Amino acid sequence: MNKTLLLLIVSLLILNSCTEEPPLTLNEGEFVNEVHKNNTGKILFMNDWIPIDSFSEKDFKDHLILSNTSDFAFRMFLGKTLTYYLHQLEPDLPVRELCDKGNFQLTFFVDNTEIYKYNLQTGAGSCDYKNSATAYGIPLANKNNPDHWGRFLWAKFMKKEGGQEALSGNSHLLKIEVRPYIEVDKLKVGDIIAQGEVTLSTIEKEVNESQIAIQQIQPTDKWELSHAVYDTTIIRKLNKKIAQSYFKDITSVVIIKEGKLVLEEYFNGADRNTLHDTRSVGKTLASTMIGIAIGEGFLKDEDQTLVDFYDLNTYENYSTKKEKVSIKNLLTMSSGFEGSDKNPDSPGNEENMYPTSDWVKFGLDLPMDKSKTIGKDWDYFTAGAVILGDIINKSVPNGLEKYADAKLFKPLGITNYKWQYTPSNVPNTAGGFQMNSLDNARYGQLYLNNGVYNEQQLVPASWIKSSLTKQLEIPEIDNEFYGYLLWNKTYNVKDTPYETFYASGNGGNKIMIFNDLDVVIIITATAYGQPYMHHQADEIIEQYLLPAILGK
């Protein structure tokens, strides 16, 4: 055998033996100390983070006072390790497979009413830890542990699942139950392995009249001011909630009705001139510019496929299926690539793209997903939006940036904006485009006006119609759909449905288009990566802004 080949084989065998995780022996665990032994199966709550070695009976609390700045945590004392409990549910599985298939199920109750049940992701916590730990410290609101899964769990419970509202006012009993769960062929949930309760009293942040008052709109050449009547009481309540950080990190709220400026509010240091990083709201720009380029003949139509723009044989994982991916498939997040931003383990997840030097190559190198049907299976795929930006950039005169300025921004009177760029120095259509709130509103109004601004057809009306069409249903979410890089959902106010198409970005940023109401709503926020970011935007729209507009 060739010596070089032999060395290569030996190296691969050594590498494989080094990287493969050794099997684990099931460990029942042991008590950490007397406090643990005397309180097995209990959950105990605390305001201040107290190390396990210092935690004593005097630290047990049955009543805590919480504010927006309070630390809050609990300790969970188990009789056995998590893997031991999972082994009872699936006795034939090895330890590492138990870890891969199971974790804790946590159930939250307020005043003995179940509010939230959550199966903790199996990746939370290492297998070695699950097979050794019997005492857990879980920070829920803790400044020193910002990335712990407990923080995200608490945020979901509070902001997304109704916990904050349930706990508001007076005192309430919070109870948590913990069970093991495992899912192989079907979900199996074990008996309670820890539980505890605490009475919580919340302190609302004090605010003054200047924080609650509706902000006076200054004259602007961007918008004619509206004299429409709306329910000011509701907006004052919203302003109070924002000032108290019930709604967190909101930077602006703008309402346009019948083409006129009704409401313009700024918070947390933002003002009329602030350029907001609205993250994936910028993806919608790729759709707009595709439509303009088609209208001007620089692109044929949205049915053009990748082979019209790239020599796919020069990229990895070539397949004839990849040749069939069209612009429309990328616009509707149904391209069939093995890429999913919803799945952190997906090879095409956007977090794997950002460190690379060529984002287009990253996307086109990906294999096709055998389980997906092109044009039918929706899956959020940021790299696809980057490919769209590159297609525009190479197809229009002078590239995407100058073309967008000439054909979209200047005709809209938008002069103050900021692109981000890919490592290849192409305007980034994955997101990060920045404009002020009034210009975001003007962009949204363009869609409401069927692509017309100042009697000039900037975007073909047919393209606006296709963009504001339910192209695909979003899986696992009831009654939500996707257009051309635009989302679709329906809000309900006093049992009346109000449909919207909207651009959406990390942090809770929204450009909302309500055709039936002739209304555009802008929300900008910096709650980046927070589990409640989109839910709080929905709550603001459904419980405050729409009722205010409709109320009088």
Give the global pTM: 0.86
Check whether residue 336 and residue 439 sit in a common domain: no
> What does the block give as tokens for 511?
């450009």
In tens, the pLDDT along 92-148 reads 999 999 999 999 999 999 999 999 999 999 989 999 999 999 999 999 987 665 678
- Of residues 319, 402, 401, 410, the one with CA closest to residue 366: 319
Q: Residue 84, SS3? A: helix
- In-domain check, residue 493: yes
Single-letter amino acid, residue 472: L
What percent of the chain has a predicted confidence (pLDDT) above 90?
A: 84
Check whether residue 88 and residue 120 sit in a common domain: yes
Rounded Cα distance, 98 and 91, in Å? 9
- In-domain check, residue 547: yes
Residue 454 belongs to domain with CATH number? 3.40.710.10
* Residue 71 confidence (pLDDT): 86
DSSP label at 217? Answer: P
Check whether residue 77 and residue 90 sit in a common domain: yes
Rounded Cα distance, 99 and 105, in Å? 14
- Of residues 57, 195, 184, 52, the one with CA closest to residue 114: 195
- In-domain check, residue 484: yes
Q: How confident is the model at residue 2 (pLDDT cuts 50, 70, 90)?
A: low
Identify the residue whose tokens are 């703008």.
Answer: 254
> What does the block give as tokens for 17?
């033996």
Rounded Cα distance, 392 and 466, in Å? 18
Check whether residue 51 and residue 142 sit in a common domain: yes
Check whether residue 216 and residue 188 sit in a common domain: no
In tens, the pLDDT along 389-419 reads 999 999 999 999 999 999 999 999 999 999 9
Q: Are 252 and 276 in contact (CB under 8 A)?
A: yes
Lowest mean pLDDT among 76-80, 178-182, 352-356, 476-480: 476-480
- In-domain check, residue 230: yes
Contacts 24+ apart (CB under 8 A), 391-399: 391/290, 391/299, 391/309, 391/327, 392/286, 392/289, 392/290, 392/293, 392/299, 392/429, 393/426, 393/427, 394/309, 395/293, 395/298, 395/299, 395/309, 396/289, 396/293, 396/296, 396/298, 397/298, 399/426
Q: What is the span of the domain harbouring residue 67?
A: 34-202
- Helices and strands: H and E segment counts in the chain: 21, 21
- In-domain check, residue 160: yes
**15 pLDDT higher than 60:** no
Check whether residue 164 and residue 215 sit in a common domain: no
- In-domain check, residue 357: yes
**18 pLDDT higher than 50:** no
Q: Are 478 and 329 in contact (CB under 8 A)?
A: no
Write the DSSP assignment of 294-345 as a string of letters: HHTTSS--TT-BGGGT--GGGSSS--HHHHT-BHHHHHTT---BS--TT-TT
Q: How confident is the model at residue 249 (pLDDT cuts 50, 70, 90)?
A: very high
Alpha helices in 77-207, H assignment, sequence order: 82-89, 95-101, 127-130, 149-155, 163-167
Check whether residue 335 and residue 303 sit in a common domain: yes
Check whether residue 40 and residue 108 sit in a common domain: yes
Query: Per the structure, how many domains does the chain have?
Result: 3
